[in-house]
Every structure is written in C-alpha cells, then in structure tokens.
Amino acid sequence: MEALILEETKKLRLGEFAIEEALGPRDVRITIKTVGICGSDIHYYEMGRIGPFVVEAPMILGHEASGVVTEVGGEVSTLKVGDRVCMEPGIPDPNSRASRLGLYNLDPKVRFWATPPVHGILRPSVVHPADFTFKIPESVTFAEAAMVEPLAVGMQAAKKARIEPGDLAVVMGAGPIGMVTALAALAGGCSHVILTDTQQPKLDLGASLGPVTPVNVAKESLVEIVSAMTGGWGADVVFECSGSAPALAGVFAPLRPGGCAVLVGMPGSPITYDVVGAQIKEARVEHVFRYAHVFPRALALMGSGSIDVKPLVTDTFEFADSIAAFEYAAHLPPTSVKAQITLP
C-alpha cells in the first residue's frame, strides 16, 4: 500500500510499502480518512529518535487518526462496517500488571503507532483492536475526530486534576497541548482558564476558545494577575503544558493553598523544583503520560458541543502533499495549531 515512510532522519518518502495485516477475531479493519501531524512525528523526522526510541528501519509515521470501519472480526459486537471511528494509537498487554490495575497507559509493553519499531497510520488502512476503536458521534467530522488523540492528553490532565466545579485554572503554554488542555479544563468543570505564553498569536487564538484570559508572560506577571483575580488566594489548578524550565520553576507561585499542579509538558532535562514553595501550600502534583479511558469521554463532550476543536485545525493537506505538510509542520507559524493530512 502507499504510505508516508520515514526512511531515515530527515528523509521522508511517499510511496509503496509492503505491510500485511491479518484481522484477528477482536479486530477491525479501518480505512484512514484524516491524520494529524504531532510534534513527536516531527521529532522523529528531524532527530530520528525520542529518548530510548530510535528509528532503525523505515517506519510509517502518524498516530492521530480517524477513519471508517471496513471489516470486523468474528467476536466484535461494538462496531460494524461503515462506522465512522477514531483510534487509540497505543495497544497494551491486557494481562500486564499495570493493565490489570486499569493503568494501561503505564504498561511498558504498550505498542504505540509511529514509535519504533511500530508503524504509524499515514497509509490507506490499518487493522486495530475493536476495544481501542471508538465510534464518532454524527455531528463530529473526521478532522475533529483526528483531534481526539491530542485532546485525550488534555482530558487525562483534566481528569488527574480532579477539578471541582467552578475551579479557576492556569494553563501554562499555548501550544497544541496547552490549547486542548484549556478546552478539557473548561469542559471538565473549570469556570475560567488563564492561558500563558510568550507568543501573542497563540494567546489570541486561545482567548477565542471560551472564558480564557490570555497572559503574555513576556510582558505581564502571571502571579500578579492571578492574585488580583482571586483576592490573593491563587488558582485551584495549574496545568503546566510548556515543558519549559522557567515555567516549571514557577508552577507553585500562582497556586492556592491545597491546590493541584498537573505536569503535562515534557522538559528536555531534569528541572529545578521549588519543594518548599509546594510544601507551604501542600500542593498536590500530578503527572500525565498519554491517557487511559478518555477517548469515549472526549467524543461524548465533542458530541454534546461542550468541546469544539475546530478552531485548532488550522491547516489541511492532501495525502499526496504529505511531505510538504511535514515541512510546513516542522516550521509551524505561531498562528497555526494543528496541521492535518486527509486521505482519499
């Protein structure tokens, strides 16, 4: 089949690739319709590795996908041919110790699309377990459904925060993950989000997403703004989505006593952490690694209109232009959030 293949670092090829996939009794076969380009795809493209995961053989890229079911295994009862779906890209071992506890995202044996040596889905079709394939509400487009994967990270963050209805949240970083975390926080019960970044176009887009106050931390003091908005009390939740060391160093300053910080962004190296600043507030800190159990929840919130990701899909390319799409995404302008590729 035709696929977008990362041959080696900085070398993409759009062309034939031999891949045979048998349909197991609990699997479905899916025609791919839309694929989003993720920062990790770009990272493999440019660097050839992410941490311990090294591209040592040609690998198909892409893991944010939606499509249509074309074949179902004999034991599948939840899906049928023609269903519009999106897919969780990581498949755990259901018998691992982490999976048995419900923490399947923490199973070290997870096989994840476009993480070496597992192929991604920039190709016409894929076979996938029905348990990790989710039907899309009628009102949700393929483009929106391909956003569920990044949105799921924000949903996991919102779940971990254990938001109480009416919480005030700070979201640090207005990149794609900051944006979806802001959406998930608002849909998950926050009354208001204070969104920070140093790039004004990102903040402008973020401010259009709902009750969001943008703070350009290159010019304004987050701590002062939060203090003014809360009578000196602080924010209930701080979602750190930038991965930047200065943001992480200041994560507790805007937090209220007894508040929660959720660390979503992955910094390049260990960071400086203000233990005493966290202690005097008895902060709870949660960490996010991908997601578990949130795809159907994200789809439900999109279906009911509580979450609208359409403003985040800023750029669309055809499959034939996949290589150009990657080039574009590798140098995404600050007015853009997410580039997607549509398949025929």
Site for a second copy in 13-32 (CB under 8 A): 26
The tokens for 273 are 């952490």
The tokens for 327 are 């080039």
Question: Phi first, then psi: what are they for 268, rounded to 5°?
Answer: -70, -20
- Contact status: 276 vs a second copy (CB under 8 A): yes
What's the rounded Cα separation, in Å, for the pair 252 and 234? 10
User: Segment contacting a second copy (CB under 8 A): 4-12, 59-67, 93-101, 325-333?
Assistant: 93-101
Q: Nearest CA to 296 among 107, 121, 198, 155?
A: 155
- Contact status: 280 vs a second copy (CB under 8 A): yes
| Min separation Cβ 289 and a second copy, Å | 5
Of residues 117 and 257, the one with the C-beta less far from a second copy: 257
Among 257, 318, 327, 335, binds a second copy (CB under 8 A): 257
- Contact status: 109 vs a second copy (CB under 8 A): no
Among 15, 74, 82, 305, binds a second copy (CB under 8 A): 305
Q: Which amino acid is at 31?
A: T
**CB within 8 A of 65, min separation 6: which ones?**
32, 33, 34, 35, 36, 86, 87, 89, 113, 121, 126, 146, 149
Residue that is written with structure tokens 């925060």 in the block? 161
| Min separation Cβ 269 and a second copy, Å | 9
Among 34, 66, 105, 322, binds a second copy (CB under 8 A): 105
| Min separation Cβ 41 and a second copy, Å | 19
What's the rounded Cα separation, in Å, for the pair 199 and 218? 8
What's the rounded Cα separation, in Å, for the pair 293 and 97? 17
| Min separation Cβ 17 and a second copy, Å | 30
User: Segment contacting a second copy (CB under 8 A): 29-37, 64-72, 120-128, 280-288?
Assistant: 280-288
Contacting a second copy within 209-248 (CB under 8 A): 210-211, 231, 233, 248
User: Segment contacting a second copy (CB under 8 A): 3-11, 15-23, 260-268, 310-318?
Assistant: 260-268
Among 274, 308, 315, 321, binds a second copy (CB under 8 A): 274
Among 54, 304, 327, 333, binds a second copy (CB under 8 A): 304
The tokens for 167 are 């919480």
| Min separation Cβ 125 and a second copy, Å | 23
- Contact status: 303 vs a second copy (CB under 8 A): yes
Among 72, 143, 155, 171, binds a second copy (CB under 8 A): 155
What's the rounded Cα separation, in Å, for the pair 202 and 176? 9
- Contact status: 249 vs a second copy (CB under 8 A): yes
Q: Find the length of the chain.
A: 344
Rounded (5°) CA angle 188-115-178: 30
What's the rounded Cα separation, in Å, for the pair 147 and 282? 35
User: Segment contacting a second copy (CB under 8 A): 10-18, 31-39, 216-224, 259-267?
Assistant: 259-267
Q: Nearest CA to 258 among 242, 237, 244?
A: 237
Q: Which amino acid is at 72?
A: V
Contacting a second copy within 160-189 (CB under 8 A): 160, 162-168, 184, 186-189
- Contact status: 111 vs a second copy (CB under 8 A): no
> Binders of a second copy: how many residues, by CB under 8 A?
75
| Min separation Cβ 302 and a second copy, Å | 9
- Contact status: 273 vs a second copy (CB under 8 A): yes
Q: Nearest CA to 326 among 105, 8, 38?
A: 38
- Contact status: 139 vs a second copy (CB under 8 A): no
Residues 37/326, Cβ–Cβ less than 8 Å = yes
**CB within 8 A of 309, min separation 6: which ones?**
144, 147, 151, 180, 183, 302
